[in-house]
Amino acid sequence: MNQSNRNYETSLHRLGKISTAVMLVALISVPIVMTMIFGIEVEADKTLTAFVGAFSLFGIIGAIEFFSYAPILGAGGQYLSFITGNIGNLKLPAALSGIKIAGYATGSKESEVISMISIAASSIMTTLIIFIGMLFVGQFLPLLQSPFLAPAFSNLMPALLGALATPVFVKDLRTASVPCLAAAAVTLAIGYPMVARYQAFLMPVFLVIAVGWSFVLYKVKRSTIQRSAEEMSE
Amino acid sequence: MDQNYLSLANSTTLFLIVLIPIIIAVVQAILFLRLGLSEAKNLDIPKPTLKKVMINSSLFSIIPSLPIIITLAILMPVLGKYIPWLRLSVIGSAIYESMAADMTIKSFGLSGLGDMGITSSIFVSIVWVMTLAILVGPTLNIFLLKSYDKKLRSIRSSGGFLAVATGALFIGMLSLMGVPLLINVANPLGIIAAVTAGVSVLLLDGLAKRTGKKTIGEFSFPLSMILGMASTIVATNLL
């Protein structure tokens, strides 16, 4: 690893850790300051009950997402997207689209930087839109919920994933075949609502299936190349 | 209904309190952007490429951000303006925030989001639960991401199969996210949207290659997404 690489990684993790810690302190300060300024007493037992329920679900999802997204988003993309949220519907597609436009291979050093830049640009734009939305929600809502546009917004995710996943699958049909068949089988077996509800829990399983199947293909390809090399030498 | 809680929820004081984390989120994004651009220079990534990436990401983000405004509008009558604004701008997502708020309201013996019995005390409890329950991911980033990232980098640099495994991870993630939507027969409009968007992106990418007009390829993803969404409007009016 050269000096420039090491400097970048040190700066990246320093910025990621410090900015995340600052954000966590700022977030936790919100209910603390509210309690202090408004002089409101919180019913600790009921709040704790609700917290345990929510944490047992979101805590596990957070841990799974931590391990699942890092290899795809890169460290910079992960620090950023875990702060601004909306990963599956905004940050991940923005990163993948950016990598596609730039034309670098996923997992390369360049793609990691492009992913981070895409997520940063997306985060700034989304924050701005939500701010404008908050100010003018009364004006926007009739348009967004109009019967004419309602089907389009209800089906944003299928449209987004259709546009995002199709070129990836077509480019590498052999690798995509087994994970796609597995996803179809699981959906047919337990139904779409259950898949949607447990998507975060199913994610590591599908990552293992995809990597496992890709490994099988890699081995087959290597042994074929080896065999042809041996035949050539004979 | 305790009227105090809504006046509190829509107060200027609360606006100023939640403004701080939102400003930090924007500053963080700008700092990462600067770091990314300086590293891109070291890696000799051409400036026009970076410009295209930033424009594309910004433009793409507009449409998927709009449903967040709908969630904002759904949460606002219950939680006021500023807490939903904060929670949907920082860490949160529409599903998580609605669920966390609903779970807290129910733990106080009420029926859930929209119940008229919410008090100032319950409101602050909701904010506590929404805030704390979602912090696992960022906390893990602080303590574990550096070592996890180091491990991932050494795996990649070791070459062989592990160097190409990222592509497979990518496919695994998209297969679980995309295929169930594509075969969800209960929502035929979703299937129409996915197929239209998928076919459109292939056609646009093909057209870009054939004509040599790179701009078509650069915007094929957001354009196809919009075409997919538009197809549902056409289908609704035709069917």
pLDDT tens sequence across B34-63? 999 999 999 999 999 999 999 999 999 999
pLDDT band at A64 (very low <50, low <70, confident <90, very high): confident
Check if A81 contacts B (Cβ < 8 Å): no
pLDDT at A1: 57
pLDDT tens, A110-169? 999 999 999 999 999 999 999 999 999 888 878 887 899 889 988 988 999 999 999 999
The yes-or-no verdict on residue A91 having pLDDT over 90 is yes
The yes-or-no verdict on residue A30 having pLDDT over 90 is yes
Contact (CB<8Å) B228/A51: no
The yes-or-no verdict on residue A8 having pLDDT over 80 is yes
The phi and psi torsions of B178 (rounded to 5 degrees) equal -95, -45
Residue B148 or A197, more confident: B148
- Best probe of the B interface among A24, A47, A116, by most B CBs < 10 A, is A47
Residues of chain B with pLDDT under 70: 1-3, 163
The phi and psi torsions of A155 (rounded to 5 degrees) equal -115, 30
CA distance to partner chain B, nearest, from residue A230 (Å): 20
Contact (CB<8Å) B201/A161: no
Measured distance CA(B200)–CA(A45) in Å, rounded = 54
pLDDT at B148: 94
Contact map slice: A 150-209 vs B, CB within 8 A = 151-170, 172, 175-176, 179-180, 182-184, 186-188, 192, 195-196, 199, 202-203, 206-209
Chain A residues close to B181, C-beta within 8 Å: 157-158, 161-162, 192
Measured distance CA(A150)–CA(A146) in Å, rounded = 6
A229 burial (CB, 10 Å; 0-12 / 13-18 / 19+) is exposed
- Best probe of the B interface among A7, A13, A34, A188, by most B CBs < 10 A, is A34
CA dihedral A74, B34, A135, B1 (to 10 degrees): 50
CA distance to partner chain B, nearest, from residue A234 (Å): 27
Chain B residue with Cα closest to A119: B57
Of all residues in chain A, the percent with pLDDT exceeding 70 is 99
The yes-or-no verdict on residue A7 having pLDDT over 70 is yes
Q: Domain segments of chain B: what residues?
A: 3-134, 159-238
A&B contacts, CB < 8 Å: 536
Chain B residues close to A54, C-beta within 8 Å: 99-100, 103-104, 129, 133
Tokens of B159: 């070459």
pLDDT band at A215 (very low <50, low <70, confident <90, very high): very high
The yes-or-no verdict on residue A205 having pLDDT over 80 is yes
Tokens of A97: 């689209």
pLDDT at A174: 94
pLDDT at B166: 77
Contact (CB<8Å) A126/B65: yes
pLDDT tens, A10-29? 999 999 999 999 999 999 99
Chain A residues close to B163, C-beta within 8 Å: 107
Measured distance CA(B171)–CA(B154) in Å, rounded = 22
B168 closest CB neighbour out of A154, A188, A214 = A214
pLDDT tens, A92-103? 999 989 998 998
Chain A residue with Cα closest to B17: A30
pLDDT at B1: 46
- Best probe of the B interface among A43, A48, A116, A123, by most B CBs < 10 A, is A123
pLDDT at B2: 54
Contact (CB<8Å) A137/B69: yes
Chain B residues close to A213, C-beta within 8 Å: 168
pLDDT at A54: 87
Q: Domain segments of chain A: what residues?
A: 172-234
The count of C-alpha atoms lying within 13 angstroms of the C-alpha of A27, restricted to the half-sphere facing its C-beta, is 28
Cα–chain-centroid distance for residue A64? 11
Chain A residues close to B137, C-beta within 8 Å: 62-63, 65-66, 82
B17 closest CB neighbour out of A30, A96, A131 = A30
Measured distance CA(B96)–CA(B176) in Å, rounded = 19
* pLDDT, averaged across chain A: 90
In angstroms, how far is the first alpha carbon of chain A from the final one?
Answer: 41
Residue with structure tokens 């893990």?
A: B140
